[in-house]
Structure 1
């Protein structure tokens, strides 16, 4: 069995937000397998153990550029070290200008974008000069360029921390705006179930089965219960399955909304600043010491 180290406990703690001792027990039960330990915590603690997946910690902004006919759009995420710099006018201008370059030149990757002309030099020299002027590192993380099958609706939310481009056909401008705002609010993983990773679905299936068994459900019904849980999960994480955030009855799904409007969605792109770059601000060592002291007093 693999040794359960403090760094392993810390990593699982950061992934799940579960209590430290629960993380250690899960790792012990999983023989040091982090992925398996995370599943164990999901079974025991439910949704509380998946908070880290949506936690936003890295700073920066999302910028969007659309053509006048809304047929072409580009979205870019540029990161910096502090929220203060994320509000700097020159930093924001760099993001906007880069979004325009992505739309106009269709660079293959960040390196290609960095080599494009900007001002008296290139994107990279402009970035470097701004780093020197402000005294804080910044980097271009990712971008997307979309040629619409219909037309593009765009939405930027939360101080440019969340950006959405949605390609929709039919309907009107208000529908496009509503769809983009809904996506920003609910953060779906895919348009429909075909876009959800198989391993993610299987992970949810295993968790549902274990929860049903722990609840003492009859073995003959466990698979049926798991399938119901999977369908509920897919409705929650796919755009078409989600309940529209502005639904007056609290029941109308996006699929139903689109049908009523004679519209459809070809696809969407969602950027959340810092997504996947989780960095905790709390002191892990202090947390360990505090829990040890509390245990000693019992």
Structure 2
């Protein structure tokens, strides 16, 4: 099938891969966008975790804390960074966060239909429409999540003036300032290193097999590029995969990550929490975390695609 420039542009923006690689990937997969992403990963051209590296959406995230057991995080988007720094916009985002922490809504649709906490004659959607008219820029309440601790506490952390917001839920039978500080340190780690899971035990078999398939394809490609006398047999490649997978899982699992404030540069997050727990006679562990980053998964950057194509074509001649 014919691959359009729009398809190439979409794949390029979502993966960060080069234009010609994107065209080839789409051609090989008959225009299937998801399959093309897999193709690029398997050929070592991009990594899934880099997929959102070209994000340029604006706005703010905010956390509202009701008590030690209840918190909510929201993301509200704007078109420009200028508006994101507007005091009216900031106040609106704060109000949306307060709405969320007191809400029982299970999805965004029902949340938008709720009575607005600052004016019950309006819904949340009405309030959004009203401030959009005042600011004269398209705004959107993109998402929210409420966290209620069943056996412990929740601790929030906001980074970069609202660019990233995190809630960490921890199980603990002791609550004091030292415990809270430790959980906040972990929330800062979540903001900085963006783990996908709390621990390796949370990784599904499906995810493990998927990543193994990707890494195997990459290793096979690397092996094929070696001189014939230096190529490794299949069983050796399989054994090498174990090390690669363990390294990847260590990087994406919070408990297994190296604690960023560790003085020896070796202590893991789980070891740090065990140390703090022991010092406070507490059973302390992380149950879950929620991390919102402004514009995550949204591509807003405008490029002159025709000009780029012309440059690429000139380079091929």
Query: Is this a same-fold pair by TM over 0.5?
Result: yes
CA distance, structure 1, for counterparts of residue 30 and residue 252 of structure 2 = 31
Tell me what 1:282 maps to: 303
From 245, 249, 271, give the equivalent of 2:264.
249
Q: Tell me how many residue pairs correspond in the alignment.
A: 294
- Deviation, 1:258, is 1.7
Q: Paired residue for 2:132?
A: 131
Task: Name which of 131, 144, 161 aligns with 1:159.
Answer: 161
- 2:7 is aligned with 1:8: yes
2:29 pairs with 1:30: yes
Match of 1:231 in 2: 246
Gaps of 5+ in 1: none
Q: Is the 8 A contact 1:166 1:269 kept in 2?
A: yes
RMSD, aligned CA: 2.2
| 1:240 is the counterpart of 2:255 | yes
Quick check: 103-112 or 49-58, which moved more?
A: 49-58
8 Å contact from structure 2 (residues 15, 46) kept in 1: no
Mapping of residues 101-120 of structure 1, within 5 Å:
101-114=99-112, 115-120=114-119
| Shift in Å, 1:199 | 4.6
Cα pair 2:13 2:54 within 8 Å, conserved: no
Deviation at 1:47, TM superposition (A): 5.0
1:53 match? 52
Give 1:48 deviation, angstroms.
6.0
Q: Which residue, 286, 293, 298 being the options, matches 1:272? A: 293
Are 1:190 and 2:197 counterparts? Answer: yes
**Matched residues in 1 for 2:10 and 2:201: separation?**
31
Q: Which residue of 1 aligns with 2:316?
A: 295
In 1, Cα distance between the equivalents of 2:267 and 2:45? 26
User: 2:289 & 2:136 partners in 1: Cα distance?
Assistant: 35
Farther-moved stretch of structure 1 (109-118 vs 57-66):
109-118
Q: Secondary structure at the match of 2:259?
A: coil
Do the aligned partners of 1:72 and 1:152 also contact (CA within 8 Å) in 2?
yes
Q: Which runs of 5+ in 2 are unaligned?
A: 173-177, 224-230, 278-283
Q: CA deviation at 1:143?
A: 0.8
